[in-house]
Amino acid sequence: MKESVQPRIVATLPVILAISIFLRATPLGAQHVEAPPGRQTAAEVYAPSVTPAIYLINFLFLYIASPDVAASMPAYRAPIPQPVIDCLEQNPTGCPYAAFKQYFEAPAIGAGGNSECFWSNVCQEEAKWQHLTPRKFRQPEQLNEPLGKQRAEQLARLLGITDDMILTEAQYRCMIGIPPRSDARETIFRCIQNLTNSKGNTPIPLSSYGLNITEQGDIRSICATTAPCLNFNALLAGPLEKIAAECGFLEKLVRMEIQTPFLRLIGDADRCQKSAGAACFVETTCVGK
């Protein structure tokens, strides 16, 4: 029996579902932190899926969809290797993974060094939210490590998720559908896969990088042109709401939007996403310690 359906979803998500968490004891600092003047700086490039607002919005959606699914989001973030960036900036829809797998199978340990990195103003978030987002990997074994059930549960509590927001197994299965899926359900299914491609959940884990492998064997940013998580945008103004009503969880979706920081984070996530370009990358400024 379906739940009673509330009025239309309070807000339409103007950002992709494309965002990994490692809970930290201390915040990164105030909003719009900038690199200290007079110190040598360098740049690191990331996919928007590991930026604060976008990640938290995606976590909220995935956790109410399925806590076990959300637990497969990455626990750490990793900068994208420069040769991969160079290729994808010229070919946003993908570059052959085989040509670049060396950079992921033997990552540069220096990339996880002791530098401190700052998001650009457009991708920063308030400290109380930013300190919940992934920190940069320090050891190779941390790359693409899944968040895990315990940390996912802790984050969900901190964000205000309650049990009455979480979909039943039947509601989740109804949302993603079974093959042959409709276009909308196929988009949702593929996007969820791309957001949770951590170790133990996929043959080639790339979640810390915010990258995925296409069926053609190409590597690309989760939110690149034509990627499922970018196409998810087209579902938000109507098709997702229709699916939620059909599957009996529209009220839960509305409750999550109202009772968590979901609506507060949307504008910040949208601004960060729009700055990412066709290849879907954002840059940080890093300083050595």
Q: H/E/C letters for each residue in the chain?
A: CCCCCCCCCCCCCCCCCCCCCCCCCCCCCCCCCCCCCCCCEEEEEECHHHCHHHHHHHHHHHHHHCHHHHCCCECEECCCCHHHHHHHHHCCCCEEHHHCCHHHHCCCHHHHCCCEEEECHHHCCCHHHHCCCCEECCCHHHCCCECCHHHHHHHHHHCCCCHHHCCCHHHHHHHHCCCCCCHHHHHHHHHHHHHCCCCCCCCCCCHHHCEEECCCCEEEECCCCCCHHHHHHHHCCCHHHHHHHHHCCHHHHHHHHHHCCHHHHHHHHHHHHHCCCCCCCEEEEEECC
Of 107, 120, 156, 113, whose CA–CA distance to 136 is shortest? 113
In this prediction, residue 113 carries a pLDDT of: 55
Contact call for residues 64 and 42 (beta carbons, < 8 A): no
In this prediction, residue 24 carries a pLDDT of: 31
d(CA 209, CA 103): 12
Contact call for residues 191 and 228 (beta carbons, < 8 A): yes
- CB neighbourhood size of 86 (10 A): 11
Residue with tokens 């945008």, as numbered in its chain: 233
In this prediction, residue 37 carries a pLDDT of: 53
In this prediction, residue 41 carries a pLDDT of: 58
pTM of the predicted model as reported, rounded to 2 decimal places: 0.85
Angle (CA) 172-214-60 rounded to 5° is 35
pLDDT tens string 99-147: 999 999 887 655 545 678 899 999 999 999 999 999 999 899 999 999 9
d(CA 267, CA 253): 18
In this prediction, residue 106 carries a pLDDT of: 80
In this prediction, residue 167 carries a pLDDT of: 98
Does the CA dihedral 69-175-188-254 come out positive or negative?
A: negative
Residues of the chain falling short of pLDDT 70: 1-41, 108-114, 289
In this prediction, residue 35 carries a pLDDT of: 45
In this prediction, residue 263 carries a pLDDT of: 92
- CB neighbourhood size of 115 (10 A): 18
Angle (CA) 184-187-189 rounded to 5° is 110
